[in-house]
């Protein structure tokens, strides 16, 4: 049985069908990338998975547990952790305190979220371990909001890892990064391989091909094709959208739209 499954997921906004009976599965330990042109419905699908939106039809299951109808915080408790497109750190706190607060929130003591954490050895050790795992050990005592964009994004991933997820949902983790920062993020994601399943939404196709065990292509709210990197690279329509010249992209997207209609 797959770790994570979407069955016939549908979302409409008025008369507009944005998510069109999506079926998707993620295996244990794999990195599964979700790609698609602008307007494909990726953001809506991510919001349906994470509990920001409720589907009109269909089911969301994680490790045999029904997530459909659960709030976002309940999904975290079931093993789903998400990094958003916009970094969701505590900008006025240090990296160390960001990590301590995230760990505290996931250990059943969130009612003490802003209580003194100075004497809590377990939280201190956990924060340092998370920092080391994500390459943030040199930034532990820096104010999070003063960090470069790429380091803030790395901290965002570390905060998501504090939940010890079964499935990590990474929503464009390399957005706004330069080549050096992107390379560091790619290495971090690679280091997580096998320790959890990862559903990666990303526009950087070099990163997608380097990381993903399988790739699903979303077009106009529907999964057109899923497969490994070679399958996706050699699909003529997908190739035209992502690897061809700009002049061919609109025609290719229109062809994909006709195919999924």
The pLDDT score that the predictor gives to residue 50 is: 95
Provide the residue ranges of all domains of the chain, joining segments of one domain with +. 1-79+166-228, 88-164
- pLDDT tens for 47-60 read 999 999 999 999 99
The pLDDT mean for the chain works out to 88
**Six token digits for residue 152:** 């803030």
Work out the pLDDT band at 248, boundaries 50, 70, 90. very low
Its sign, for the CA torsion 161, 165, 166, 172, is: negative
Q: Map the chain to HEC letters.
A: CCCEEEEEEEEEECCEEEEEEEEEEECCCCEEEEECCCCCCHHHHHHHHHCCCCCCEEEEEECCEECCCCCHHHHHHCCEEEECCCCCCCCCCEHHHHHHHHHHHCCCCHHHCCCCCCCCHHHHHHHHHHHHHHCCHHHCCCEHHHCCHHHHHHHHHHHHHCCCCCEEEEECCCCCCCHHHHHHHHHHHHHCECCEEEEEECCCHHHHHHHCCEEEEEECCEEEEEECHHHHHHCHHHHHHHCCCHHHHHHHHHHHHHHHC
Question: Under CATH, domain 1-79+166-228 is a member of which superfamily?
Answer: P-loop containing nucleotide triphosphate hydrolases (3.40.50.300)
- Give mean pLDDT, residues 16-31: 97
- Give mean pLDDT, residues 138-142: 97
According to DSSP H, which parts of 106-228 are helical? Answer: 121-134, 149-161, 179-191, 205-211
Would you say 167 and 147 are in contact if contact means Cβ atoms under 8 Å apart? no
- pLDDT tens for 167-185 read 999 999 999 899 999 999 9
Work out the pLDDT band at 114, boundaries 50, 70, 90. very low
- Give mean pLDDT, residues 89-112: 82
* Across 86-90, 150-154, 225-229, least confident range: 86-90
Query: Residue 9: beta bridge partners?
Result: 22
- pLDDT tens for 182-238 read 999 999 999 999 999 999 999 898 999 999 999 999 988 999 899 999 999 888 878
The pLDDT score that the predictor gives to residue 106 is: 80
Q: In angstroms, how far is CA 241 from the centroid of its own chain?
A: 22
Work out the pLDDT band at 260, boundaries 50, 70, 90. very low
Cα(234)–Cα(211) distance, rounded to whole angstroms? 17
Work out the pLDDT band at 245, boundaries 50, 70, 90. very low
- Give mean pLDDT, residues 122-138: 95
Work out the pLDDT band at 108, boundaries 50, 70, 90. low
């Amino acid at each position: 049985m797959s770790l994570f499954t979407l069955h016939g997921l549908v979302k409409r906004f008025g008369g507009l069908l944005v998510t069109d009976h999506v079926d998707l599965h993620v295996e244990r330990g794999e990195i599964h990338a979700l790609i698609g042109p602008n307007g494909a419905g990726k953001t809506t699908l991510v919001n349906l998975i994470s509990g920001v939106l409720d589907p009109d039809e269909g089911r969301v299951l994680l490790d045999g547990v029904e997530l459909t109808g659960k709030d976002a915080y309940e999904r975290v408790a079931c093993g789903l952790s998400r990094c958003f497109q916009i970094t969701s750190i505590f900008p006025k706190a240090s990296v160390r305190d960001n990590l301590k607060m995230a760990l505290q929130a996931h250990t059943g003591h969130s009612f003490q979220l802003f209580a003194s954490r100075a004497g809590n050895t377990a939280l201190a050790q956990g924060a340092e371990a998370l920092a080391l795992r994500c390459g943030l050990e040199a930034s532990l005592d820096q104010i999070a909001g003063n960090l470069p964009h790429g380091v803030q994004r790395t901290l965002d991933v570390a905060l998501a890892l504090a939940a010890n997820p079964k499935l990590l949902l990474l929503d464009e983790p390399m957005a706004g990064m330069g080549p050096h920062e992107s390379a560091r993020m790619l290495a971090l994601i690679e280091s997580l391989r096998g320790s959890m399943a990862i559903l990666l939404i990303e526009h950087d196709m070099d990163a997608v091909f380097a990381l993903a065990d399988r790739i699903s292509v979303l077009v106009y709210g529907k999964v057109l094709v899923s497969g490994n990197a070679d399958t996706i690279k050699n699909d003529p329509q997908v190739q035209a959208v992502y690897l061809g010249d700009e002049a061919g992209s609109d025609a290719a997207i229109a062809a994909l739209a006709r195919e999924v209609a």
